[in-house]
Amino acid sequence: MLDVDVEAPAFTLDNQAGEPVTLADFAGRPVVVYFYPRADTPGCTTEACSFRDAWADYEAAGAAVVGISDDPVDDLAGFREKYDLPFDLLSDPDGEVAASYDSYGEKSMFGRTFDGVFRNTYLVGPDGRIAATFPKVDPEGHADEVLAAVAGVA
């Protein structure tokens, strides 16, 4: 995980509609940058829907939310539509942005080793610096945990 108070790595990634989104788009406001392994899987759906369900509170706090995975844009579009997610999902197909946030690397499942996205979350403050980190996230209740941290930086 990156350290608190370091500058958040800049990025430009395509969202679910194929439109570029940059970290700089959120300058001056807190932004939750959450990394998740795979769209439309149980844990990732729980996590995304928890942010959706708390969306009014995030808006009231002036915070943005973006989810980043190595899924292709088309998969993100279907995931976002299926669960009526009000925030952008960003495609990082080669894992470069996730790696710059220490959220990509070797994983193991069912005896198979592969590279993939780790379930980590960062809160980037209005100044563009890391305000809080959440490693190895448990999707259940995560949005509420992050929202409490947003209150401290908004």
Q: Choose, from 13, 44, 98, 150, the residue flagged as catalytic.
A: 44
Query: Crossing angle of helices 142-151/42-53, nearest 10°?
Result: 40
> Vertex 16, ends 76 and 125: CA angle to 5°?
100
Distance between CA atoms of residues 64 and 67, nearest Å: 10
Q: Is 44 a catalytic residue?
A: yes
Catalytic center residues: 44
